[in-house]
Structure 1
Amino acid sequence: MTETPGAQLTPAIRHADILIIGGGLSGAMLAAQLLRLPGKRQVLVIEPRAELGRGEAYSAVELGHTLNGNAARMSIDPDNADDLTHWLAEYIAAGGWPESDQQHVPISELFPPRGLFGVYVQQRLAEAQVVGARYGSTVEHVRAEVVDVQTDIDSVRLTLNDGQRLQGAYAVLATGMFAAARTPQTESSGLNAAALDPWDVTAMRQLDPQSTVLIIGSGLTMVDAVVSLEQAGHRGPIEVFSRHGLLPHVRRQPPAWADFLAEDHSIRTPRQLMRELRRQCHDAIAQGIDWQAPLDTVRAHIGRLWSQATDVQRRQFVRHVRPWWESHHHRSPPLSAELVARLHGERRLRIHAASFKGLEPSSVGGVNIRIRRRGETQTCVVHGAALINSSGIEYDWRRVARPLPQQLLARGLVRPGPLALGIAAADDGAVLSADGQVASRLFAMGPPLRGMWWESTAVTDVASQAKALAVRLAGMCPVV
């Protein structure tokens, strides 16, 4: 073929049955489920990272950055709650993770490093590929970032940042979470440009060990940041600022408790749930039982309760209950919680109920931030040698300055979910367009559906969604 002078060749379009946009936990689990189903199909997973199955959460390399749930709670097999426990037992028996004996608990109660959990996901995906090969199915990793999506009546077309173009019968938005600390935002205050990555131990080793570090946010990302500082050898003051000044509770292993929501179908609203949950927790404490026992029965019902609540009720929950829900429900792994508690007891780590109002110039190096303490009207400036953004996850796609969410919104292929949390979708994951039409070829799963189900980020939630969506997609693809 002869190229016309001045003309550009249009890159060839690669075809597949299913295109999975994102190759972290969500994308890898969906791919594995598809491989295990009968039928011959070609799946492309588009993920810019070098490895599938890790994503934002499980790319951590430090042993101190652990899961916030124990092994018995973190299986990626929705049909076998003990899958991770069994995998860990074999891995440890083979000589892997020798540090596991420091936790002094049964394997089912271990809190594995997040990097090790990524190995587990990758191994299960590799095993699924062996199964898929018997059916003639394949999964291929395309290492690139999707920057645009277009749909028509019979296909979905993707444009990648390297110029590649892909076309498939169906596509799935498995984009995972956009960590605020690593996400450019359309309304940026410059925070991320001035802040250290919460998981970058190497960068923290460059700090004066006795210097003051400022942290915005007091949730689980803050806990990780404190672990990172400790492993980097930092021994100076740590000042933490968050609107409510709440720390995550430590995750314990409470005894079983009756599933009161399964027994009482009259509880339908967030207010009714909180009232009854408080009563159940008080009853547990009166019996000498950990209050976490009744709380842990609620997860299985959150999707139902959230989806049937009105927008007014959801807004009330987010505004008035969410901080306490997050600190009680999304709890810290024991070793990390022990570190935070020790530093707090030594007065090296202090928690301030205060809102971040922006950055201020510093003439002496380091960083200045302007805050407003809770209950006060005036702001003040606080100085530190370094700043860490631990404000958690950005769920509002309108504020994520990345090409894919911006293009999807601009084209009207998706619309914000309830309360602008993630994107809107039907019960089966088919996304809703800007005008409310249910897509026939574009689906979503995992964290993008936060607004639909509230808890759509945990491993067990994503595992269940992956299985259900795989069955649906396999049923729509012709069997060869």
Structure 2
Amino acid sequence: MTSLPPQEFTSVARAEAPLDENRGFACHVLIIGGGASGTLMALHLLNASPDMRVTVIEKSALLGCGIAYSTTDPGHLLNTRVHNMSAYPDRPEHFRDWLRQSGMAPGATDESFVGRQIYGRYLNDLIARERDLPEVSRLRCVKDECLRLEETPKAVIAHLGDGTCIRGDRAILATGHAVPVQSHAVLTSGWDFTPPADPGQPVVIIGTGLSMIDHLITLLRNGHRGTITCVSRRGLLPQVHTETKPLAISRGHVPLGAPVSAILHWMRGLAADAERQGGTWRDAVDGIRAHVSAIWRAWPEAERRRFLRHAASFWEVHRHRVPPDSARWLQEARDRGQLRILRGRFEEATMGEDGLIAVRIRTSGGERVLPAGRAVDCRGIRRDPAKDSAPVIQDLLARGQSRLDPLKLGIDTNEWAQVLLADGRPSRRLFAIGPCARGAAWEITAIPDIRVQCAELARHLHAIEAQDPVGVSRG
């Protein structure tokens, strides 16, 4: 499989109608961000009502790709099977059918794991079809960055990088994952997949999660011969996908509000039940998935903190698993001694006089220094939303027009995805979805969850539009 050439994607850039022209639609929604979250939101808004007009504002030239799906390495696979990656939760066959009809993966089945770049092409194709309809299009795509959102009694106004403004009735923040500001000058960003100049030099990767797997695969696919050392505090690796049959768990059997310890005990019991029935713990985890957000919302702040401190890393490696092909790269590298996994805390990285990077870590046995031709930071997507988020979010925070959730996972929202102001009141016109608002639901970083949130918000906005066209009555 080869990477897709740029011309295979539809660009945002094209002649647009005047930015403030609404063409008589009942509601004009601005979507800030055109990655996977923003694209899914646009598709569901257009699907929910013929009276909805949508403008997507995206600084990249490509819609639908974002960080995750703009990779050019065909070895970077989706971590979810085809049947659970449709843009529409009520049409599970949609992505599979597109793969076959488009020729991107003619032999794809519901159980296949395909390349992430192909998924970006899928979302890009869906949004391009909506934009290029022969009749008056309800979708407009603007290539620019939204720097500021101004909410007035009658509208919300997006201020763009080129100095122009777009007026809408509501705005939805869909800026996706915030890329952490690189605080160590000698560390390579986890999103830089450029192979090292010398394939024989040692590489150190800080982190042992999904980003590490991507880097490992890129290194090995490009013929890297040197040792690869991966370091994280617990040394946990993502588990591998196998065939599963998710347990059917009704909401009434979920101990909502129980402390973390009790929830973990309940989960272990479900895993044991699955194994007694001839399955595996994966059946339990996949059955619990539908209830994770409800469990999270039912916890008080103290229990959420306890989960993040003691259990989140274990949940992540069991919940976010890797395809067998990806796991095979890792296992073969370990078997031949090229890859090693260390438990330790990263301290610092400095450039040595010998031209190698000295990566200092602290393990249970004391301090160690690892030499590296390249050191890569794969510790995660977001560590400080106040610093790492998109400029529009930083501006909203600075002006008190939004706030971070108590755990500082992202923008604080209520159950209807309304952005909460600094004083806790919900905005009447501003919403946030997906990873940028993770604190409200926790499990809102993967497509199967984001698409459901988008569908629900689209239906909600359509329903309230007839009742309260100048605001959100629930606000």
Task: Verify: 1:33 aligned to 2:44, yes or no.
Answer: yes
Q: Is the 8 A contact 1:47 1:145 kept in 2?
A: yes
By how many angstroms is 1:401 displaced? 6.1
Q: Is the 8 A contact 2:144 2:161 kept in 1?
A: yes
% identical equivalent positions: 34
Distance in 1 between residues matched to 2:70 and 2:33, nearest whole Å: 14
Distance in 1 between residues matched to 2:355 and 2:284, nearest whole Å: 49
Alignment match, 1:157: 157
Structure 1 residues 303-351: Cα deviation after superposition (integer angstroms, max 9, x where no partner)? 1110011111111111000110011111112111110111112221111
Q: Is the 8 A contact 1:36 1:128 kept in 2?
A: no
2:183 maps to which of 183, 186, 189: 189
Alignment match, 2:209: 219
Structure 1 residues 75-120: Cα deviation after superposition (integer angstroms, max 9, x where no partner)? 21021122222222333xx4x347x6xxxxx711111101101121
Alignment match, 1:110: 112
Q: Is the 8 A contact 2:186 2:350 kept in 1?
A: no
Distance in 1 between residues matched to 2:279 and 2:390, nearest whole Å: 47
Alignment of 1:37-76 (within 5 A): 37-76=48-87
Distance 1:400 1:200, change over 3 A: closer
**Helix, strand or coil at the partner of 1:280:** helix
Q: Is the 8 A contact 2:178 2:389 kept in 1?
A: no
Q: Is the 8 A contact 1:70 1:110 kept in 2?
A: yes
Alignment match, 1:268: 257
Alignment match, 1:234: 224
Distance in 2 between residues matched to 1:256 and 1:472, nearest whole Å: 29
| More helix per residue | 1
Alignment match, 2:309: 319
Give the TM-score normalised by structure 1: 0.87
By how many angstroms is 1:200 displaced? 4.3
Alignment match, 2:440: 452
Unaligned runs of 5+ in 1: 1-11, 101-105
Structure 1 residues 117-138: Cα deviation after superposition (integer angstroms, max 9, x where no partner)? 112112222344467x66x442
Letter in 2 for 1:189: S
**Helix, strand or coil at the partner of 1:18:** strand
Distance in 2 between residues matched to 1:361 and 1:124, nearest whole Å: 46
**Helix, strand or coil at the partner of 1:442:** strand
Stretch of structure 1 that moved more, 242-251 or 140-149:
140-149
Q: Is the 8 A contact 2:86 2:93 kept in 1?
A: yes
Structure 1 residues 129-172: Cα deviation after superposition (integer angstroms, max 9, x where no partner)? 467x66x4421221111222221211212222222222211111
Structure 1 residues 200-230: Cα deviation after superposition (integer angstroms, max 9, x where no partner)? 44x20x4211110010110000000101111
Unaligned runs of 5+ in 2: 1-17, 23-27, 470-475
Distance 1:40 1:137, change over 3 A: farther
Alignment of 1:413-424 (within 5 A): 413-424=401-412
Distance in 2 between residues matched to 1:148 and 1:395, nearest whole Å: 23
Alignment of 1:307-346 (within 5 A): 307-346=297-336
By how many angstroms is 1:264 displaced? 1.5
Distance in 2 between residues matched to 1:209 and 1:110, nearest whole Å: 31
Paired residues, number: 444
By how many angstroms is 1:15 displaced? 5.4
Distance 1:437 1:355, change over 3 A: same
Task: Verify: 1:425 aligned to 2:436, yes or no.
Answer: no
Letter in 1 for 2:119: F
Give the TM-score normalised by structure 2: 0.88
Q: Is the 8 A contact 2:178 2:436 kept in 1?
A: no
Distance in 2 between residues matched to 1:279 and 1:61, nearest whole Å: 42
* Aligned residues: CA RMSD: 2.2
Q: Is the 8 A contact 1:395 1:448 kept in 2?
A: no
